[in-house]
Every structure is written in structure tokens, then in C-alpha cells.
């Protein structure tokens, strides 16, 4: 092994001693790996629409869209979104309903709501250039803050997403419970070491690119990897075992009984503070109860993360509205044809389809 390619430690990250010597070793390893990674990235990077320049707004929009969504799926949504909302001021001035319409299909609609809130805040100031300042804005978590700060402004902070976790765990042989806070913090420290030399933007994007295109969850293309001679997981034949698998959340069965309140061509929606999914979003009023098993009879079914929702439409209730239903909740009458502009989730459409005989 040459000096430029130091041997990697075959050990769990949890067992690495917090000492000056250990830090020095990891720093040397990270610097060597980062150098070859940056060269690989410049030669193999994909031509993506948000990589045309270092515009913080476009980088921010892309990073939010890419959460829980593939690059291929995001590209057409991104292109349509930035044509309609080309800058932060346009986004801030838009109605939330229009933002949601342009987000429809990407799912996780709280992202769009927080995006809109942050745009309003950003209009009152210059775009923050540091992760610690971005972190104060709605919807800017540790990953998004670090991604924007490093990709747009060159701050030397590492990013840690699913791709980066997989790449780091494999190349360095880390057997860590990355979903637990303490061990995730240690992984974040390793990611930070990688960007202390070279271009933070190229290195962070290189890590993510490597995970997305080469070091994939299944059938990785190790022969194309710039680290294939240094990868501990490859040497030990443990690629399929790393990173460790996060325990899956148990599927929960929920019986939801939405009430269809109808007034001409409109239905009633209330702010959801009673169901464990789509919190604070506009839903049909009703009741919900967790069930130990799937019900035998239901009108429709829908899944949101680990919530398996069985819809049993309660009944048709005509106007006027009663206090029992709305109470002090925020509520509104919405034309059926405009439901998607208020809540794009297909859950509402399923209720309408299942209850169309009542309407």
C-alpha cells in the first residue's frame, strides 16, 4: 500500500478510541480518500439541472425534493417547479395551494409547506451561508443545512444521507447502528474530516454520487469504484452486510372513519389534530382507532410510512355544520375539484371515490 493510500482500520467505529492518535489516523485516511474521490467525481458526475452553477436557491430546492425520492423521479418536478418559482421571492409570494399543486406527486407534503415558510423568512434577509444559520430556518435539518452551505458556499461541513452512510460504512468497515444518535454523530465527524481539504462541494457530491451510482445497496459496481483496492467491506466480503440494517418500524393498522359533510359541490375539511398521519394538514373530520389486525370490511385502503389505513366512511352528513364535528378546529368548505390544491395526498381522493355514491 502506498503512502497516498493508507490501509484502512478493520474495526467498528464504536471501538475507535477518542485520542489524538486515532484522530490523526482518520484524518490521514480521509484526506487520501477525498483526493481520489474528487478526481473520480469530476470525471464521472452526472449532468443534473441543479448542478449548472452554485445557486443556493436551486440547490436547496433540489435537496428538499431528493429526500426520499430518486434523482430520475425528481428531475421533471424540479424543472417544472423552478420554471414557475425561479427564485425565493417568487416562491414566497405564491399561494401555498399553488406550491402544493406543483409538489403533487412527490409526496411528503410537509416538505412543501416548510419550503414555503422558509422562502418567506429568506425574503427578509440575505441567504445564510453557514449551516448553523440555515439550521434556524423551517425545514432546514442538519442534512439540508450542511448540503446547501457546502455545495453553494463552500463551507467545510460534511453531509450525511443514506448514500454517504453506506459508502463510509463499507469503505472503512464500520459496523455501527447509524440510526442511533451517538453513533450517527461519530459518522458525521468522519464525514466532516473528508471535506477539510479539497472542494467541499465536489467531495460531498462525490460521496453522494458514488453511493447513488456505484456503491449501491444491491449489486454494487465495485470495479468502477475509485476505492476498490482500499474498501474494507470488499476485502472482507461483507458488502452485503454493511451498513447494518436499521430495524423496521412495526406496521400499524388504523381504522379511519371519515365523515363526508356535503354542501352542494363542496366538502368539509378540518385541520388534522386527531390522526397520526398528515398532521396539521386538512383532512375530513372523523375518528380513528388503532387495530390489532386488519379489518374484514373497509371502503378503501391507503398506506403512509408505517401506517396501514383502512377507510370506513362513516356517513353523509348534510349542512349545517355541528359543533360536535368542527368544534374550535380550523375548517373550510372546499370544492371537490379543488381538493388537490388544499391537500394533494391521494388519501382524500380515495375517500371521495369510495363515497361518491353518497355525494
From the list 17, 18, 63, 259, the catalytic residue is: 63
Interior angle at CA 299, CA 305 and CA 316, nearest 5: 115
Provide the pLDDT for residue 2. 38
If the chain, 359 residues long, is cut into consecutive pieces of 10 residues, what is the mean pLDDT of each piece? 42 47 78 94 95 94 92 95 96 93 86 94 94 95 96 97 96 92 92 93 96 96 95 94 91 93 88 90 92 92 92 71 53 87 88 78
Task: Name all domains of the chain by residue range, CATH numbers in brackets.
Answer: 1-247 (1.10.340.30), 252-354 (3.90.79.10)
284: nearest Cα among 315, 252, 249, 250: 315
Classified as helix, coil or strand, 261 is strand
241: nearest Cα among 266, 220, 210, 263: 220
In the block, which residue shows the cell 423551517? 138
Residue by residue, what is the 3-state secondary structure of 32-61?
Answer: HHHHHHHHHHHHHCCCCHHHCCCCHHHHHH
Distant-in-sequence contacts of 203-206, Cβ < 8 A, 24+ apart = 203/34, 203/37, 203/38, 203/41, 203/158, 204/146, 204/147, 204/150, 204/151, 204/158, 204/159, 204/164, 205/41, 205/45, 205/51, 205/151, 206/37, 206/38, 206/40, 206/41, 206/45
Beta bridge partners of 282: 271
Provide the pLDDT for residue 50. 95
> Can you spell out the DSSP letters for 93-116?
HS-HHHHHHHHTTS--THHHHHHH
Provide the pLDDT for residue 106. 87
- Residue 236: active-site member: no
Amino acid at each position: 500500500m502506498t503512502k497516498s493510500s493508507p490501509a484502512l482500520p478493520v474495526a467498528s467505529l464504536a471501538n475507535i478510541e477518542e485520542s489524538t492518535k486515532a484522530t490523526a489516523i482518520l484524518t490521514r485516511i480521509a484526506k487520501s480518500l477525498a483526493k481520489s474521490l474528487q478526481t473520480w467525481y469530476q470525471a464521472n458526475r452526472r449532468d443534473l439541472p441543479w448542478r449548472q452553477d452554485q445557486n443556493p436557491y436551486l440547490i436547496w430546492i433540489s435537496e428538499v425534493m431528493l429526500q426520499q425520492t430518486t434523482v430520475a423521479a425528481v428531475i421533471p418536478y424540479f424543472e417544472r417547479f423552478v420554471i414557475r418559482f425561479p427564485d425565493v421571492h417568487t416562491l414566497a409570494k405564491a399561494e401555498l395551494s399553488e406550491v402544493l399543486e406543483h409538489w403533487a406527486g412527490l409526496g411528503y407534503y410537509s416538505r412543501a409547506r416548510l419550503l414555503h415558510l422558509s422562502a418567506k423568512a429568506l425574503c427578509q434577509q440575505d441567504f445564510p451561508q453557514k449551516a448553523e444559520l440555515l439550521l434556524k430556518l423551517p425545514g432546514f435539518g442538519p442534512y439540508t443545512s450542511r448540503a446547501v452551505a457546502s455545495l453553494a458556499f463552500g463551507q467545510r461541513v460534511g453531509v450525511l444521507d443514506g448514500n454517504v452512510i453506506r459508502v463510509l460504512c463499507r469503505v472503512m468497515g464500520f459496523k455501527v447502528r447509524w440510526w442511533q444518535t451517538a453513533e450517527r454523530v461519530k459518522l458525521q465527524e468522519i464525514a466532516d474530516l473528508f471535506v477539510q481539504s479539497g472542494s467541499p462541494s465536489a467531495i460531498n457530491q462525490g460521496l453522494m454520487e458514488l453511493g447513488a451510482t456505484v456503491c449501491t445497496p444491491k449489486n454494487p459496481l465495485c470495479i468502477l469504484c475509485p476505492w476498490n483496492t482500499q474498501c474494507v467491506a470488499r476485502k472482507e466480503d461483507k458488502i452485503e452486510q454493511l451498513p447494518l440494517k436499521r430495524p423496521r418500524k412495526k406496521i400499524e393498522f388504523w381504522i379511519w372513519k371519515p365523515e363526508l359533510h356535503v354542501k352542494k359541490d363542496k366538502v368539509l375539511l378540518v385541520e388534522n389534530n386527531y390522526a397520526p398521519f398528515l398532521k396539521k394538514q386538512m383532512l375530513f373530520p372523523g375518528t380513528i382507532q388503532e387495530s390489532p389486525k386488519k379489518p374484514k370490511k373497509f371502503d378503501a385502503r391507503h398506506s403512509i410510512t408505517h401506517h396501514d389505513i383502512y377507510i370506513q366512511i362513516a356517513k353523509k352528513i348534510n349542512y349545517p355544520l355541528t359543533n360536535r364535528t368542527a368544534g374550535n378546529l380550523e375548517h373550510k368548505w372546499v370544492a371537490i375539484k379543488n381538493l388537490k390544491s388544499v391537500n394533494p395526498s391521494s388519501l382524500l381522493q380515495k375517500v371521495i371515490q369510495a363515497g361518491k355514491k353518497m355525494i
